[in-house]
């Protein structure tokens, strides 16, 4: 039996939900102090944040992740430079902030994890919370491998010179031809760090250095989250603030370098004609959606530890803006460094091939064709691991004291990754612990979860592991999160009811939200999520699904179509979480129908027994 409070006009309606989903409502009057006491009594024994700063830093640490550093700059450069900020911030206002506020509000109001929250909103929506848990588990399996990569690069950064600063020697002390074609940082990434094969079908053996750093990543994560918000709340003081300190240091150094201003101008030079393309608006909305971290259940879990009268609306606006402004600041830093790299590469090419007689040029090649111009070097696009482990490391090599800058850079990446992983894992552990799905102490439950995820994560430590990671990254957190958020918006605004939700918020904030929130929650945000979902689905269905594979002996990367058997795995990654929602709905419906049928049977039996008893009584009387 569960209890739910419906607060309105000073009254508290307590609805007791029985196992048969019948509600017996009793109404009574109580003042605010009594309601506050009741609300606090609901969470006796439940751990809470040490203070408001821990909560805000944890939320920022979760929202600000790798995507702010390696995807937003790429999208900004690709989709019109400064003009891209227009659809980006419009999407933030119409989609990002409303969804962020909605998740914080329902978590703070119900004071439970994702599964408990959605069961309280409506029993038929319990699958929404379960879907969030499944998504978090799948994402944590590969996300921690990226953190392991950062650990590996951090450790090798203490060498001088850096191991990726030059190509290894080939036969007769000549430069390795594959490294010469690929470039030193790309060669090191694919051959030394990953030991990559040529396709996902060539599994390859385990790379033991990757297994060790993956183990280390999970040990560090376990130590930070084993005691829930009490331990993670202290860790976020480092993980949430260190990235800003390092970004500020990089910015201060980068703006003094030759070409940094050209890089910033190249990135933010507005191309307003690009705004006529629907794809630009779609990618802006998609970036906002995934950047703020909605759909994971993490924000619900984090806000459930807050006092009931915490101003979650102000928190949602503040954290969403911090996340977006961090993306812009990170883009400035990235492109100022890449601008310096482009200038240095262009000058180096001119020095090498721009002699009086151009004797170093291959036959038939001119200097303009070989070195192009500065704009060509500035236009080189990188995203994802290619930006951090290839392009940015190349730029670091051109800086004085490059090992120092490498240590700072990968320390920042570790902080970003760990901050996000705290939140992702909390979305899992909060639900499992609150709902007693696995009746273990939280420390033991955390250790068991980390161990199982690490064992499955060994898949990414094989020589083909990076290709598997691309698959997981592309399909575990795209369509499923859109699917989840659509049902969140529909569930709160239309099933639970926007007005009832407004009453809950009014009770928490002591003020009623404006019309903007109701319009976005009921109409605008669901429409945007639905459009992104349909377009993403069409993109998967109409275009071949490919991944980037390393071509050995050729020193480059090419797009390769997944083999047919991979489509079954991709379908599983998408459906494993999405099907939780209809599955729970059908299960609840079946339980209700079974209960009703049992009741009808009992009523008929009672009537027959009563009729038989009366008949026997009459016969005995005669």
- Condensed to tens digits (0 to 9), the pLDDT of residues 465-484 reads 999 999 999 899 888 999 99
Mean pLDDT of 97-111: 93
Percent with pLDDT over 70 in the chain? 85
Of residues 453 and 552, the one with the higher pLDDT is 453
Q: Report the range of poorest mean pLDDT among 362-366, 518-522, 604-608.
A: 362-366
Mean pLDDT of 43-49: 59
State the pLDDT confidence band at 218, using cuts at 50, 70 and 90.
very high
- Condensed to tens digits (0 to 9), the pLDDT of residues 401-446 reads 899 999 999 999 999 999 899 888 888 887 777 767 677 787 888 8
For the chain, the 3-state helix, strand and coil shares in percent, each to the nearest 5, are 70, 5, 25
- The pair of three-digit structure tokens given for residue 264, joined into one six-digit string: 């910033």
Tell me what pLDDT residue 36 has.
47
Place of tokens 């902080």: 415
Tell me what pLDDT residue 228 has.
66
What backbone phi and psi angles, to 5 degrees, belong to 347? -65, -40
Tell me what pLDDT residue 44 has.
42
Of residues 6 and 392, the one with the higher pLDDT is 392
Tell me what pLDDT residue 133 has.
92
Q: Report the range of poorest mean pLDDT among 332-346, 356-370, 526-540.
A: 356-370
- Condensed to tens digits (0 to 9), the pLDDT of residues 493-514 reads 999 998 999 999 999 999 898 8
Enclosing H/E stretch for 248: helix 242-254
- Condensed to tens digits (0 to 9), the pLDDT of residues 560-575 reads 999 999 999 999 999 9
- Condensed to tens digits (0 to 9), the pLDDT of residues 585-615 reads 999 999 888 888 888 787 777 777 777 777 7
Residue 354, pLDDT above cutoff 90: no
- Condensed to tens digits (0 to 9), the pLDDT of residues 49-63 reads 878 888 999 999 999
Of residues 28 and 67, the one with the higher pLDDT is 67
Mean pLDDT of 378-391: 76
Mean pLDDT of 124-146: 92
Mean pLDDT of 550-557: 81
Tell me what pLDDT residue 384 has.
73
- Condensed to tens digits (0 to 9), the pLDDT of residues 294-338 reads 999 899 989 988 999 999 999 999 999 999 999 999 989 988 888
Q: Looking at residue 79, what DSSP letter applies?
A: T
Q: Report the range of poorest mean pLDDT among 1-5, 304-308, 368-372.
A: 1-5
Percent with pLDDT over 90 in the chain? 39
Q: CB under 8 Å, gap of 24 or more: what pairs does 221-226 form?
A: 221/144, 221/147, 221/418, 221/421, 221/422, 221/425, 221/450, 222/446, 222/447, 222/450, 224/418, 224/422, 225/422, 225/425, 225/426, 225/429, 225/446, 226/442, 226/443, 226/446, 226/447
State the pLDDT confidence band at 127, using cuts at 50, 70 and 90.
very high
d(CA 225, CA 317): 26
State the pLDDT confidence band at 46, using cuts at 50, 70 and 90.
low
Arithmetic mean of pLDDT over the chain: 83
Asked if 135 and 481 touch (Cβ cutoff 8 Å), the reply is yes
Q: Which of 409, 403, 404, 410 is nearest to 162 (CA)?
A: 403
Residue 527, pLDDT above cutoff 90: yes
State the pLDDT confidence band at 37, using cuts at 50, 70 and 90.
very low
Mean pLDDT of 171-192: 80
> Any idea how long the chain is?
622
- Condensed to tens digits (0 to 9), the pLDDT of residues 327-349 reads 999 989 988 888 888 888 888 77
Tell me what pLDDT residue 372 has.
73
d(CA 185, CA 166): 8
Exposed / middle / buried, residue 427 (Cβ in 10 Å: 0-12, 13-18, 19+): buried
Tell me what pLDDT residue 229 has.
67
Of residues 561 and 9, the one with the higher pLDDT is 561
Beta pairing, strands 11-17 & 23-29: antiparallel
């Amino acid at each position: 039996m569960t209890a739910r409070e419906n607060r309105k006009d000073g009254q508290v309606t307590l609805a007791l939900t029985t196992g048969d989903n019948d509600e017996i409502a009793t109404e009574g009057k109580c003042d605010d102090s009594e309601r506050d006491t009741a609300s606090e009594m609901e969470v006796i024994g439940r751990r809470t944040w040490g203070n408001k700063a821990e909560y805000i830093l944890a939320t920022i640490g979760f929202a600000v992740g790798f995507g702010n550093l390696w995807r937003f700059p790429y999208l900004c450069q690709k989709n019109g430079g400064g003009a891209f900020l227009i659809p980006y911030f419009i999407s933030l206002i119409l989609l990002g902030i409303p969804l962020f506020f909605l998740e914080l509000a329902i978590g703070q109001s119900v004071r439970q994890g994702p599964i408990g929250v959605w069961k309280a909103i409506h029993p038929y929506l319990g699958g929404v919370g379960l879907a969030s848990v499944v998504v978090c588990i799948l994402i944590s399996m590969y996300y921690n491998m990226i953190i392991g990569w950062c650990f590996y690069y951090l450790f090798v950064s203490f060498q001088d010179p850096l191991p990726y600063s030059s190509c290894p020697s080939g036969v007769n002390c000549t430069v390795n031809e594959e490294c010469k074609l690929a470039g030193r940082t790309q060669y090191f990434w694919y051959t030394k760090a990953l030991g990559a094969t040529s396709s996902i079908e060539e599994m390859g053996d385990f790379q033991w250095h990757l297994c060790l750093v993956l183990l280390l990543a999970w040990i560090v994560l376990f130590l930070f989250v084993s005691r829930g918000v009490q331990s993670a709340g202290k860790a976020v003081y480092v993980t949430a603030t260190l990235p800003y300190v390092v970004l500020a240091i990089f910015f201060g150094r980068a703006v003094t370098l030759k070409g940094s201003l050209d890089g910033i101008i190249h990135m933010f030079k507005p191309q307003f004609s690009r705004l006529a393309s629907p794809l630009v608006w779609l990618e802006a909305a998609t970036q906002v959606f995934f950047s703020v971290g909605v759909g994971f259940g993490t924000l619900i879990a984090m806000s459930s530890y807050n006092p009931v009268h915490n101003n979650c609306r102000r928190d949602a606006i503040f954290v969403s803006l911090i996340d977006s402004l961090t993306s812009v600041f990170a883009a400035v830093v990235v492109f100022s460094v890449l601008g310096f790299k482009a200038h240095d590469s262009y000058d180096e090419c001119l020095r090498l091939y721009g002699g009086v007689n151009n004797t170093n040029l291959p036959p038939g090649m001119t200097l303009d064709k070989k070195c192009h111009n500065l704009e060509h070097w500035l236009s080189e696009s990188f995203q994802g691991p290619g930006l951090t482990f290839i392009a940015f490391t190349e730029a670091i090599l051109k800086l004085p004291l490059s090992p120092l800058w490498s240590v700072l850079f990968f320390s920042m990446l570790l902080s970003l990754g760990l901050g996000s992983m705290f939140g992702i894992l909390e979305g899992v552990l909060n639900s499992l612990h609150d709902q007693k799905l696995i009746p273990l102490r939280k420390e033991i439950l955390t250790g068991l979860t980390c161990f199982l995820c690490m064992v499955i994560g060994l898949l990414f430590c094989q020589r083909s592991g990076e290709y598997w990671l691309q698959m997981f990254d592309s399909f575990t957190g795209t369509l499923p999160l859109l699917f989840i958020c659509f049902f969140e918006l529909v569930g709160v605004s239309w099933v639970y009811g926007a007005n009832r939700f407004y009453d809950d918020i009014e009770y928490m904030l002591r003020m009623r939200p404006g019309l903007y929130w109701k319009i976005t929650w009921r109409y605008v945000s669901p429409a945007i999520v639905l459009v992104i979902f349909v377009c993403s689905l069409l993109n998967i269905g109409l275009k071949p699904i490919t991944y980037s594979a390393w071509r050995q002996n050729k020193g480059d990367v090419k797009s390769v179509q997944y083999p047919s058997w991979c489509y079954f795995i991709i379908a599983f990654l998408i459906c494993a979480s999405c099907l939780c929602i209809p599955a729970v709905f059908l299960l609840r419906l079946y339980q209700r129908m079974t209960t009703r049928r049992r009741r009808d049977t009992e009523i008929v039996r009672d009537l027959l027994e009563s009729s038989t008893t009366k008949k026997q009584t009459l016969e005995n009387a005669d």
